[in-house]
Amino acid sequence: MAKIIVVTSGKGGVGKTTSSAAIGTGLALKGYKTAIIDFDIGLRNLDLIMGCERRVVYDFVNVINGEANLNQALIKDKRVDKLFILPASQTRDKDALTRDGVERVLNEMKESFDYIICDSPAGIEAGAMMALYFADEAIVATNPEVSSVRDSDRILGILQSKSKRAEQGLEPVKEHLLLTRYNPERVANGEMLSVEDVQDILAIDLLGVIPESKAVLNASNSGQPVVLDSESDAGQAYNDAINRLLGEIVDFRFLNVEKKGLLKRIFGG
């Protein structure tokens, strides 16, 4: 039976789609049949980051409405075996997602996938609520700044009260914290919250700390998940997070200011 994981946050621009793409790709690389669903109806972005925008023929809403079957809409990744993308519609609005329709599609996907990653839109509107409703686990992405953390705290409250698991009195949605765009130098200068600050506020288990990195932008622009860039700090940090998600104990990296060697201090960089 598949595990449904929502990647969510209260605030926009924290890296949910980047994280959904990286985590979904990483799980598939480890041999798990994985699908990533774009819940951001009207503002489709997942297909761009995954580099498959030209291959979109049918989308999530087409499947819900019976205008296409699931196999017609799923896009198989060309680089990673066992990885599939279900794109959002660019021409519909958020109300196109019905609870019955989403549940029907997820139940069909559960029969053949190990992991289903739900890439949630920001905030608490219909698409975001639908993305988290059926989740077994939630990855709450947040930047180390007060407004982002506060909005993530609100999302945690919704997960604990308005998910299907909460409504049915089942075991709660398992929550993970993913701290993105972390810059140790700015933390040291008091310009950013520290990992400990964020953990104190949100009080959920830390899954990963993704450093602020040009590799993330480069990967997005080239249509490839950053986890495939194994030489980059961000790619390594996402891989660490995926290993923790799978139950491994992995030390955290990229939390402290890098000490510059003599040549770097002289010549900069």
For 233-254, what is each residue's pLDDT tens digit?
999 999 999 999 999 999 999 9
Mean pLDDT lowest among 40-44, 139-143, 187-191, 259-263 = 259-263
Has residue 263 got a pLDDT over 60? no
Is 16 annotated as belonging to a binding site?
Answer: yes
pLDDT reported for residue 11: 82
Is 268 annotated as belonging to a binding site?
Answer: no
Has residue 145 got a pLDDT over 60? yes
Q: How many CB atoms lie within 10 A of CB 84?
A: 23
CA distance 120 to 128: 5
For 55-112, what is each residue's pLDDT tens digit?
999 999 999 999 999 999 999 999 999 999 999 887 776 667 899 999 999 999 999 9
pTM of the predicted model, to two decimals?
Answer: 0.93
pLDDT reported for residue 90: 78
Spell out the SS3 assignment of 183-206: CHHHHHCCCCCCHHHHHHHHCCEE
Contact 116, 3 (CB under 8 A): yes
The band of 269, judged by pLDDT with boundaries at 50, 70 and 90, is low
Q: What residue type is 142 in one-letter code?
A: T
pLDDT reported for residue 266: 57
Has residue 223 got a pLDDT over 60? yes
Contact 1, 133 (CB under 8 A): no
CA distance 91 to 44: 9
Is 34 annotated as belonging to a binding site?
Answer: no
For 2-53, what is each residue's pLDDT tens digit?
999 999 998 888 999 999 999 999 999 999 999 999 999 877 889 999 999 9
Is 18 annotated as belonging to a binding site?
Answer: yes
User: Helix and strand tally (H, E) in the chain?
Assistant: 13, 8
The band of 258, judged by pLDDT with boundaries at 50, 70 and 90, is confident
Contact 52, 45 (CB under 8 A): no
Q: Which two tokens stand for residue 135?
A: 């989740």
Query: What average pLDDT does the segment 169-187 reach?
Result: 96
Residue 233: closest CA among 249, 210, 217, 251:
210
Mean pLDDT of the chain: 92
CA distance 51 to 55: 9
Is 17 annotated as belonging to a binding site?
Answer: yes
Q: Is 257 helix (H, G, I), strand (E, B) or coil?
A: coil
CA distance 261 to 54: 46
Rounded to 10 degrees, what is the CA torsion of 75, 224, 116, 88? Answer: -60
Q: What residue type is 16 in one-letter code?
A: K
Has residue 261 got a pLDDT over 60? no
Q: At what angle do helices 16-29 and 233-245 cross, to 10 degrees?
A: 70
For 194-222, what is each residue's pLDDT tens digit?
999 999 999 999 999 999 999 999 998 89
Q: Which two tokens stand for residue 253?
A: 């990296």
The band of 264, judged by pLDDT with boundaries at 50, 70 and 90, is low
Is 13 annotated as belonging to a binding site?
Answer: yes
Contact 207, 178 (CB under 8 A): yes
Is 98 annotated as belonging to a binding site?
Answer: no
Has residue 164 got a pLDDT over 80? yes
